[in-house]
Structure 1
């Protein structure tokens, strides 16, 4: 197969990224503070998850063919530019109200994800990708860089990766980027992400890191997979509580830290950890199958603003490989994909089903709190 014919960002990229993360974590578990390499059960569980995800994508790929994607045409170029600008202003206001730059202060970083940020980040992410998908112009790439810088001051790598990664995939599918520029762009993303992670780690007063930026990447992968290793014996022990916290005002990552390590710490637990802790192997199987089906459906709808929506969703799915699907704000981005599917397939019952699921989750959360 010729290199030019390979679609590098089709749904199978998730499997490739999972395997790469697993390899990095396995290497990291040997080289740093871990006494033993990853348990074979962790490796087999992750390989099983990749297989189930692939089954989902293949089933949809050959069973459903879409010839005419419905174009959604209600956002003008000026409106999109205004909304992008509003998002940037909101994030600047957020930094002012916080009282400093969280990237250089771990205390400020812990309070950086305010309600203003929760509005500003998804607004910018969605509108900049739709703007590029519908009205591509090279000058709009300056807005991408500006957004990455402003949101990067929060000190979270995922925000920067979400912006740079999704916009890169958007312009990739618009065929507006050469191979040379693409390689440079990917290299810049990697360097920026490592730099933010390293700077943020050095700003934590209670920790003293001796690892360089590249070593820190392998260490983080190993540590996150070690957390998943500790989750496996506890499979299905929380009975949906993590899921209920995602769709409420709780902190699922902190709860996972308390439940798994027995002290208060905010943990990333891989794409597989939260669902495994809640529902065990059965839950993990369902999650990976649904994700495979869902991503393949959105991939088939990547036309017009669908390009931007697919880019956002696949980027954050890749981010979830480390962090885990524990952010309600990112699930909102998945909702955009669900709406796109409903419009194109006339499956309006998808939306009703989603509503019922959210009601059930919140009812379960209230019930757990009463008990």
Structure 2
């Protein structure tokens, strides 16, 4: 198989990323402040989750032919461009109202995810990918970089990753990624990830980090998996409370910090932590089966704007590996996949492999 024909971004990439994260966390648990390496129970639970995700993806056994004549023609290039620029203006306004740059101030960062940001970020993320997918032009790559910079000033790595990685995947499926551009884009993503995470950590009051930017990545993976390790004995004890918080009010990550570690802190607990705490192993099984099958289905109908939607969904599923699916705004991105399926429902022809 030729290198150019390999589908690097099929849903099973999630499994590869989970295993890489597990290895990073295991290495990190040896090298830094943790008293013991990750327990075997954590490793086996993560591997079990990977197997279930794979089963879900493999269950979609059909080739799907999509009639591309129905392609949401009202989404004109001009409209998408206006919405992209509007999102950038909203985020700039958000920082003006905050009174500074959250990346360099931990107090501002804690208040940076305002209602304006909750509109601006998904609006930019969705519209820039639809713009690239439907009306690709090299000049729009400048908007991608500008968006990553402006949203990166909020101090959250996930915004930078969400914009850069989803755009990269969209361009990959459009066959607009040359070897040279691929190397440049990956370098920008890596630098953006490390830089935003490191700068934000240095701006936290009352914390003095001695780890370098690369060591910090391993530490964060280890700490997040350690939180999941503490969740496993508590599996199923919150009876859906975290899920209800996602779709109502409150902070699921702060609740997890209070419930698991007994102090007021916002914690990431991996893709598996929230659902395991709510529903135990059964909940984890259902979540991973759903994610594998749903991503695979959307992957098979990634035509036209579907390329942009799939890229967004895959990117944020990868981000969830660390952060966990605890934000209703991000679940909205999965809703886009459902909308894509419904739009094409009458145009999908299933043919067995």
Question: What is residue 319 of structure 1 aligned with on the other side?
Answer: 319
1:75 aligns to 2:75 (yes or no): yes
| Structure 1 residues 346 and 67, CA gap change in structure 2 (3 angstroms) | closer
CA distance in 2 between counterparts of 1:160 and 1:107 reads: 20
1:293 aligns to 2:266 (yes or no): no
CA distance in 1 between counterparts of 2:3 and 2:177 reads: 15
Question: What is residue 226 of structure 2 aligned with on the other side?
Answer: 226
Question: What is residue 91 of structure 1 aligned with on the other side?
Answer: 91
Please list, as runs of the form range in 1=range in 2, the aligned pairs for 1:1-80 lying within 5 A after superposition: 1-60=1-60, 62-63=61-62, 65-69=64-68, 70-80=70-80
CA distance in 2 between counterparts of 1:338 and 1:270 reads: 24
Question: What is residue 141 of structure 2 aligned with on the other side?
Answer: 141
8 Å Cα contact 2:66/2:303 also seen in 1: no
Displacement of 1:206: 1.2
- How far does the alpha carbon of each residue in 1:173-199 deviate from its partner, in whole angstroms, 9 at most, with x for none? 000110221022112101111011000
Displacement of 1:342: 1.7
8 Å Cα contact 1:28/1:221 also seen in 2: yes
Q: Which runs of 5+ in 1 are unaligned?
A: 348-371
Superposed structure 1 runs of 4+ greater than 4 Å apart: none
CA distance in 2 between counterparts of 1:169 and 1:257 reads: 33
Please list, as runs of the form range in 1=range in 2, the aligned pairs for 1:1-371 lying within 5 A after superposition: 1-60=1-60, 62-63=61-62, 65-69=64-68, 70-345=70-345
CA distance in 2 between counterparts of 1:76 and 1:343 reads: 17
Structure 1 range deviating more: 318-327 or 331-340: 331-340
- How far does the alpha carbon of each residue in 1:314-333 deviate from its partner, in whole angstroms, 9 at most, with x for none? 00000000000001110111
CA distance in 2 between counterparts of 1:255 and 1:216 reads: 24
- How far does the alpha carbon of each residue in 1:328-356 deviate from its partner, in whole angstroms, 9 at most, with x for none? 11011111111111222259xxxxxxxxx
Displacement of 1:77: 0.5
CA distance in 2 between counterparts of 1:300 and 1:73 reads: 21
| Structure 1 residues 346 and 256, CA gap change in structure 2 (3 angstroms) | farther
Displacement of 1:109: 0.2
8 Å Cα contact 1:72/1:304 also seen in 2: no
SS in structure 2 of the partner of residue 138 of structure 1: coil
Higher helix share: 1
Aligned-residue CA RMSD (Å): 1.1
TM normalised by structure 1 equals 0.92
SS in structure 2 of the partner of residue 65 of structure 1: strand
8 Å Cα contact 2:166/2:308 also seen in 1: yes
CA distance in 2 between counterparts of 1:47 and 1:203 reads: 35
Q: Which runs of 5+ in 2 are unaligned?
A: 348-353
Displacement of 1:73: 2.0
Question: What is residue 351 of structure 2 aligned with on the other side?
Answer: none
CA distance in 2 between counterparts of 1:338 and 1:242 reads: 23
CA distance in 1 between counterparts of 2:63 and 2:186 reads: 32
CA distance in 2 between counterparts of 1:73 and 1:181 reads: 30
CA distance in 1 between counterparts of 2:186 and 2:312 reads: 16
